[in-house]
Structure 1
């Protein structure tokens, strides 16, 4: 489970009724397959698309095949090249749409940050890395554990007295830290020592650099997202209609019904078939390459042989497929 990097979830949705008697706990691998089955059905323009997962019994890894991605929005922080407001708004709108979809599917990401926001071939953000995410039942997740990247942790997750906290609210906090990074190139709270960093997140007020020329609308949104009180922190539905996000109504985001499909459920058959077992990943690569080149010859020798035969007019070795 540690290597697969999939979310921790409660019992599967849409599964067949369990037989009478005490429930039998699922093993770690069964839980991973359950996670994979749901992730493979998540289909949204702003969430990384998991196409296939391969399991090579001879190795200690699962190989995840995903739709083409380019780079993270920001690979390193701090950076001296932050985004301008228009760039930040473009990417943040994608982030809002993706988070609304995940929350609708009852998934809390728990590790939103610029390096987990990958740019797809279409130029839009794809939310990635569900390694510490949680699925919940009901209206919101009540979480008790602290996971994620230290500089992006919400203050309520660091409280010594609070026993549980809202999953949606902590995602909003991390979105606020991410937006802050977009426009300033640094996190709002930074310290080399983890204990000192936690103390700053819990007690220090959020400060916007005095030299910044940000619009008042953006400053307002940042302060509302980075509200240390999760009960009064702005919510995703409120963020969607905020003047800065919509450019004061000129760029409204889609309604929830248009942005989110029906709640995803998986069957036992889909769970069982969620991972494709292969004898050897190298063999699969070899066969796929041979099929693509329409030849039974060794594809790794094909290029060399073709160069040698170019002067003789001979074709590449192997039998052509029909």
Structure 2
């Protein structure tokens, strides 16, 4: 097998072993005759935690601080778990965080992080330097827009978490432009929109009533300098996130469970051929048909 195929199989085998309430479960990967891969994943039927296109179209406001806090706590726990197991998501955004429970019926609905299409493992143990620069335009960290020195994936994920929190609260992205180059310029050089809380920006009034500690957290998440951006260990103890200690996150020992490295057999069987699945389905169908005949005779 080529090194590339072996790397893909290893990454898939690792993804199958992830087990966290806020990470979507990967059940199986099916390989078709034309070498397409289909991922069979846990169903999250209630859609993204916020639909920014709908918010813009209907001119709706964002979520309350209480609802946003509940969702953001879960995002923090899921990403903390990934980083502990040396996996970078690299495409954190509301579209990739789905409700597992109905938000209309459940007060604190569970949400799950999905879409690991561009995620990557650490280059080496303890080394989160990125091998590739990628992501969704409105969520790119400044260091990805003007790369020079090594870019560290954990800080890239934390920036995207900040953009996600902002969009949950305000119903829009903080940096917007149709032109990708202009957007990158804004991300790198424009001041944070969260500083000007009572000013109409892009015809959207940024709520002045947001709490002081929420503003502080947003500014720390959206620090353009990755070296001084908030870290995950600081984030889990943040005043706003924990509601001043009233809603602490689960202890690290409960959240940070190590994923065992996949065995050679698990890597070798990381994905199955469509033909093998078709054979199983036919066998099950025959078995069920036989049972029906037996029941009638």
Same fold (TM over 0.5): yes
Q: Secondary structure at the match of 1:53?
A: strand
Give aligned pairs, total: 274
TM-aligned CA deviation for residue 263 of structure 1: 4.0
Corresponding position of 2:154 = 168
Measure, in 2, the Cα distance between the counterparts of 1:44 and 1:35. 17
TM-score scaled by length of structure 2: 0.85
The farther-off stretch of 171-180 and 47-56 is 47-56
Corresponding position of 2:99 = 119
Measure, in 1, the Cα distance between the counterparts of 2:101 and 2:281. 24
Corresponding position of 2:244 = 248
Measure, in 2, the Cα distance between the counterparts of 1:320 and 1:284. 23
Corresponding position of 2:106 = none
In structure 1, which of residues 71, 95, 99 is the aligned counterpart of residue 79 of structure 2? Answer: 99
User: Is 1:69 matched with 2:35?
Assistant: no
Corresponding position of 1:295 = 289
TM-aligned CA deviation for residue 47 of structure 1: 0.6
Corresponding position of 2:132 = 145
Gaps of 5+ in 1: 1-24, 298-316
- Runs ≥4 in structure 1, deviation > 6 angstroms? none
User: Is 1:53 matched with 2:29?
Assistant: yes
In structure 2, which of residues 172, 177, 191 is the aligned counterpart of residue 205 of structure 1? Answer: 191
Q: How does 1:189-228 map to 2 (within 5 A)?
A: 189-208=175-194, 209-210=197-198, 211=205, 212=207, 213-228=209-224
Mark the structure with the bigger radius of gyration: 1
Q: Secondary structure at the match of 1:92?
A: helix
Instruction: Give yes or no for contact 1:54–1:64 (8 Å, CA) kept in 2.
Output: yes
Instruction: Give yes or no for contact 1:116–1:128 (8 Å, CA) kept in 2.
Output: yes
Gaps of 5+ in 2: 103-108, 199-204
TM-aligned CA deviation for residue 151 of structure 1: 0.7
Report the CA distance shift for 1:204/1:138 in structure 2 as closer, same or farther (over 3 A): same
Measure, in 1, the Cα distance between the counterparts of 2:30 and 2:169. 39
Report the CA distance shift for 1:143/1:195 in structure 2 as closer, same or farther (over 3 A): same
Instruction: Give yes or no for contact 1:140–1:168 (8 Å, CA) kept in 2.
Output: no
Instruction: Give yes or no for contact 1:56–1:281 (8 Å, CA) kept in 2.
Output: no
Q: Secondary structure at the match of 1:261?
A: coil
TM-aligned CA deviation for residue 285 of structure 1: 4.8
TM-aligned CA deviation for residue 148 of structure 1: 0.3
Q: RMSD over aligned Cα, in angstroms? A: 2.3
Measure, in 1, the Cα distance between the counterparts of 2:157 and 2:163. 10
Q: Secondary structure at the match of 1:279?
A: helix
TM-score scaled by length of structure 1: 0.79
Cα displacement string for residues 182-237 of structure 1 (whole angstroms, at most 9, x for unaligned residues): 00011110000000000000000111242402111111110110000001100111
Instruction: Give yes or no for contact 1:150–1:194 (8 Å, CA) kept in 2.
Output: yes
Q: Secondary structure at the match of 1:143?
A: coil
